[in-house]
């Protein structure tokens, strides 16, 4: 089982001057200490490390299943959330449901629609095509205040109430902090079913809380497999650095950041994993982009995540990646076996420039393109490493997601920053409240007006 995933490091040292084995030996103790320090703090609520326990948390899953049971005969689920309150669910559903689940007539599991923007066309368009009588809405906001999510909630509430009258209260599930924010007391007052985001888990680390699990359960995803895979990554976390893929990946990410690779290009070669790149980008950027370190010294840390998809983006970005500035580290994700292993037929036997594909599968072609790109980049001294998943299933996805969270946390430790806050995002939220006239923000609104800032 341990061989399901491995970190292929053959291209890690192609950048001149980096001796991978020497660096790994030199950093081993530091990496192991960082892992131990993180685990030692995980029970302190204020450290936001509660996500390390989630893979083993059967009680939360049981609670989610109880709520989900009321809606299993529905057709559609609308998920309202943004950032950490939506990207995990989007990643899981797009990776593990049938690629055209929503178009299938014999589908098992609800159609899940994520609303993660305040685009009126998209919101009203969705409500136009769905039937409120067979739709459940899950409003997710840890803080219970985020403008984008609250505005979409208001639109959905009116839509449900207009169709169902007082019964609408049974059709909105609120997932939020157990105590803080306005969503919790509102939900309790109106009588919405509720689920909790634990206070010790930050938004972008919340995929294995009710935030990701309710959409997954209603979409009939193998959630036990997801958690089993995540637990396996977590179980490996305190292994010695020499055989610990999570610490080794963190080291590669850290070292190349120090060596001027200002960008991390995350490139899965699988359309099912397209949104894993989006989820990783948020996790990485919000966790590591910090103005000050834990001592308050100005550091402006962080490398920029770039989300891409192989092979599609070979035809838009690889020219730059190979011949442009050598300022990037590449992370590839390879899938050994695609679900159906679909063969490429020989439909043009007289065309030698096409019939060489006969007998090959789309999966073989995908992986040939990945090998070609990784080698072409290595040839141009561009460093990369690769995660290989035996297949895209719950267990492998859970493993990789937990691993990426662990890697991000370790890099935060090595940088000496707090990877679990997001002061830069909070300021934007507060300024939006002021611009939109939220009570309590009048002074800031006046300052913005004086400075000529308008909505």
Q: Between residues 157 and 232, which has the closer beta carbon with respect to ligand PA5? A: 157
The pairing of strands 6-8 and 384-389 is antiparallel
DSSP letters for 154-221: HHHHHHHHHHHGGGGGGGEEEEE-SSSSSHHHHHHHHT--EEE--TTS-GGG-TTSHHHHHHHHHTT-
Q: Between residues 357 and 405, which has the closer beta carbon with respect to ligand PA5? A: 405
Please give the Cα distance from 326 to 306 (Å, whole number).
Answer: 14
| Catalytically annotated residue among 73, 315, 443, 454 | 315
φ, ψ for residue 369, nearest 5 deg: -70, -40
Please report how close the Cβ of residue 280 comes to ligand PA5 at its closest, in angstroms: 13
Please report how close the Cβ of residue 415 comes to ligand PA5 at its closest, in angstroms: 18
Q: Between residues 83 and 383, which has the closer beta carbon with respect to ligand PA5? A: 83
Please give the Cα distance from 211 to 207 (Å, whole number).
Answer: 6
Please report how close the Cβ of residue 201 comes to ligand PA5 at its closest, in angstroms: 10
Please report how close the Cβ of residue 251 comes to ligand PA5 at its closest, in angstroms: 24
Is 189 annotated in the active site? no
- CA angle centred on 133, ends 118 and 129, rounded to 5°: 45
Is 5 annotated in the active site? no
Q: Between residues 146 and 338, which has the closer beta carbon with respect to ligand PA5? A: 146
Strand partners for 305 = 264
Residue nearest ligand PA5 (C-beta atom): 203
Please give the Cα distance from 83 to 85 (Å, whole number).
Answer: 5
| Catalytically annotated residue among 148, 236, 286, 395 | 286
Q: Between residues 278 and 413, which has the closer beta carbon with respect to ligand PA5? A: 278
Is 246 annotated in the active site? no
Q: Which residues contact ligand PA5 by CB under 6 A?
A: 82-85, 141-143, 146, 149, 202-204, 286, 422, 425
Q: Are 398 and 55 in contact (CB under 8 A)?
A: yes
Tokens of 418: 């707090």
Q: In the sheet where 172-176 sits, what is the strand order?
A: 111-115, 76-80, 135-141, 172-176, 194-196
Please report how close the Cβ of residue 372 comes to ligand PA5 at its closest, in angstroms: 36
What is the 3-state composition of the chain as percent helix, strand, coil, each rounded to the nearest 5? 55, 10, 35
Q: Between residues 139 and 415, which has the closer beta carbon with respect to ligand PA5? A: 139
Please give the Cα distance from 55 to 58 (Å, whole number).
Answer: 8
Q: Between residues 290 and 334, which has the closer beta carbon with respect to ligand PA5? A: 290
Q: Nearest-CA neighbor of 154 among 188, 110, 124, 185? A: 124
Please report how close the Cβ of residue 319 comes to ligand PA5 at its closest, in angstroms: 32
Q: Are 348 and 354 in contact (CB under 8 A)?
A: yes
Please report how close the Cβ of residue 37 comes to ligand PA5 at its closest, in angstroms: 22
| Catalytically annotated residue among 42, 180, 220, 429 | 429
Tokens of 321: 């990646």
Known catalytic residues are 286, 315, 429
């Amino acid at each position: 089982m341990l061989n399901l995933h491995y970190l292929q490091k053959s291209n890690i040292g192609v950048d001149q001057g980096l001796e991978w084995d020497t660096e790994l030996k030199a950093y081993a103790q530091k990496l192991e200490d960082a892992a131990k320090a993180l685990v030692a703090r995980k029970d302190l609520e204020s450290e936001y490390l509660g996500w390390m326990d989630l893979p083993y948390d059967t009680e939360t899953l049981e609670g989610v299943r109880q709520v989900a049971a009321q809606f299993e005969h529905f057709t559609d689920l609308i998920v309202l959330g943004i950032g950490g309150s939506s990207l995990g669910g989007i990643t899981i559903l797009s990776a593990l449901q049938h690629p055209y689940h929503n178009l299938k007539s014999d589908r098992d599991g609800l159609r899940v629609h994520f609303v993660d923007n305040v685009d009126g066309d998209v919101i009203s368009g969705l409500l136009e095509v769905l039937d409120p009588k067979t739709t459940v809405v899950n409003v997710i906001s840890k803080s219970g205040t985020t403008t984008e999510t609250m505005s979409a909630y208001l639109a959905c509430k009116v839509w449900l109430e207009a169709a169902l009258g007082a019964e609408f209260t049974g059709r909105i599930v609120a997932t939020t902090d157990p105590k803080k924010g306005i969503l919790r007391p509102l939900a309790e007052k109106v009588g919405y079913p509720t689920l909790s985001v634990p206070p010790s888990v930050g938004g972008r680390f919340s995929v294995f809380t009710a935030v990701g699990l309710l959409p997954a359960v209603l979409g009939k995803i193998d959630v036990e497999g997801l958690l089993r895979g995540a637990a396996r990554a977590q179980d490996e976390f305190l292994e010695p650095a020499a055989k610990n893929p999570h610490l080794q990946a963190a080291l590669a990410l850290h070292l190349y950041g120090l060596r001027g690779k200002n960008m991390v290009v995350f490139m899965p070669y699988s359309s099912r994993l397209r949104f894993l790149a989006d989820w990783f980008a948020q996790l990485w950027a919000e966790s590591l982009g910090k103005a000050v370190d834990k001592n308050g010294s100005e550091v402006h840390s962080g490398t920029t995540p770039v989300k891409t998809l192989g092979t599609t983006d070979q035809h838009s970005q690889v020219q730059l990646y190979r011949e442009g500035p050598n300022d990037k580290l590449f992370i590839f994700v390879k899938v050994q076996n695609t679900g159906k292993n679909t063969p490429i037929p020989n439909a043009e036997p007289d065309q030698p420039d096409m019939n060489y594909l006969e007998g090959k599968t789309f999966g073989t072609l995908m992986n040939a393109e990945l090998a070609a790109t990784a080698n072409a980049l290595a040839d141009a001294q561009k460093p990369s490493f690769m995660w290989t998943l035996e297949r895209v299933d719950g267990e492998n996805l859970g493993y990789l997601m937990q691993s990426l969270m662990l890697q991000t946390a370790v890099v935060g430790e090595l940088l000496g920053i707090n990877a679990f806050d997001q002061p830069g995002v909070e300021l934007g939220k507060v300024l939006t409240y002021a611009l939109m006239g939220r009570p309590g923000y009048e002074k800031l609104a006046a300052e913005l007006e004086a400075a000529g800032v308008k909505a």
